[in-house]
Structures are given as structure tokens and as C-alpha cells.
Amino acid sequence: MQQTPTPRQILNTLLPHLRVAAAYARQIQPQIAARPIKEEQENMFAAALSDADLSIQTLVEVALIGSFPNIRFFGEEYEQSYNTKYFRAIDLGEQGDYLVTLDPIDGTQFYLDGHDNYQIILAILNADEFEAVLAISPAQDIYYYALRGEGAWQGKLEDPLEACRPLQISETQPAILLGWGMEAIAPALKDQYQIFDIATGYSHEVQIPNLNGMFSGELAGAIIRTGKWIDGAALAFLAQSAGCIVTTLEGNPPPPLHSSTDYQRPGFIVAASNSIHQDLVKAVQVTHSTLMQP
């Protein structure tokens, strides 16, 4: 029986291929043309689709099938991929039967608009929790990764995992990111924090922080309506591994992955400190109760 690779082995194997994907994304960004918008999406960020999404997913799929032919894999573009049928499964497995996920371009609208804070996010999920997350920022020549119980790390793209330094989130700007559908919370926070509201404040010309702003200190916290495994929930795990506080909107610990449906966790809060977390939980509580719904 083939031995299951460890999360670190998976990251080490895929990192060279992800470097190639990052170079590709960076190279074609000035020339990229948007492909047809995805149907039945609730906002422009979910709807945006570029050539880079499909090409990077194909690259990673080829590397995975060639290296770990028995692995589970779910990529954002699975419905359009030529390779989905070659994976053993695309869903969450039993404990120890890892699922690899990929968001080939997280922040596709940012990418299409020429901003530099888009990412390539690869995650390894166990039945209960993330085992590893690796997030590459191609245009910033940096990547972050976390392994369950081993903290979070950051390095230049050319650095091997072992050469990365610990990711420590200490000094942050007094700024909060509100994800799509959370704009009603802004009045409860605007006296204390600068608010970046994705729904009403996104600009095609002027870059605003994405959730990865937690890692650079651009953000002190974020309130996100739903935590998709491939992006938001993965970045929340990375932030938590770096010392941030991550809870549901009610302030409770995130539920185990196997209790979730549709490849996502409930909405969540990320905060750089206890006091910030208290402010964000209070802001959610005093806002309309419909925001507490998944």
C-alpha cells in the first residue's frame, strides 16, 4: 500500500512548481484578458475568471497527479478542468486521508486590475482541521506557510521552506477589512478603525488590502461572511498559526472541517489581539442579526 505523504513533503514537492506558476502569473498580468465571467456568483470577485486561474490549476494538477497519484484534490476551477476526473476524490476524506485544495488566483479581480496583492493559495486539509497552508504573493516576491502545530513562516520566493523565518504579527495599522456582505458593520467600527469595505470601497485604480494584509501589518483584523476552504478559511488558519485570534462571528472556535458543507466554514473574525477581537465581536453583535447567518 502506498504511504501517505506528510504535509511537509507535499509542500516541498509542489513549491518548485508553484514558483513557476508565480512567475507565469507575474509575467502575463500586464497582458491578461478576462475570460467570460462565471455564472451564478454573488459578487464580482467570485465571478472574475482569468486565463491564469485555469493555467495555474492545470500546472498544479499535473504536478500532483505525477507526484501523488492517489491524493484527493479540489481546485477552484474543478468544473472546467481537464484533470478532475483523474483524481481519486475531490471531497474531504477520513482523518489522515488528506485533501489538497487550490485557489490558483485568490483575488482575481485584484489581479485583473493590475494590483499586486493577489495570491496563489494551496492548502492541505484533514478531516478536522487544516494541516498546512502555503500562500504565495507573486508580485511581492514573498510567500507564507503554516504547518499545524509548527507555527507560521515567511520567505522570499526562492527560499526553501527551511530557510524561511517565523511570521510574527506584532505591529498593525488600526484598520479592519470587511468582506463582501458585511458593510453594515462599518458604522459600529468607524470611530476606532479605518474601514476597508470590499463591497463599497473596492477601487479598480487604487489598491486596498486583501485578507493577506493581516500578514504585512496593513490590517489589525477582518470580518468575513463565509470562509471558503480554498481561500478565506485557509488564510485564517495561517493567521491563527502566526498568533492571531480566529473565531466564528459569534466569538466561538471554528467548527471542525467535517461539520461544514459546500467546502466552506461559517463566517469568521480574525484579530491581531484580544482587545481588537473584542471590538469586532461587539460590532457584529450590535449589527443586524442576519449577518450571523452563513
Domains identified in the chain and CATH numbers = 7-166 (3.30.540.10), 175-292 (3.40.190.80)
The answer to whether 106 is a known ligand-binding residue is: yes
Contact 293, 266 (CB under 8 A): no
The answer to whether 250 is a known ligand-binding residue is: no
* Sequence-distant contacts of 251-255: CB under 8 A, at least 24 apart: 251/277, 251/281, 254/227
The answer to whether 105 is a known ligand-binding residue is: yes
**How would you write the pLDDT of the chain (294 residues) with one tens digit per residue?**
357 899 999 999 999 999 999 999 999 888 875 555 555 555 444 444 678 899 999 999 999 999 999 999 999 999 999 999 999 999 999 999 999 999 999 888 888 888 999 999 999 999 999 999 999 999 999 999 999 999 999 999 999 999 999 998 878 999 999 998 899 999 999 999 999 998 888 888 888 889 999 999 999 999 999 999 999 999 999 999 999 999 999 999 999 999 988 999 999 999 999 999 999 999 999 886 544 454
Q: Which spans in 137-289 are helix H? A: 198-201, 213-216, 232-241, 274-285
The answer to whether 185 is a known ligand-binding residue is: no
Closest CA to 101 of 136, 64, 52: 64
The answer to whether 231 is a known ligand-binding residue is: yes
Q: Across-strand partners of 48?
A: none
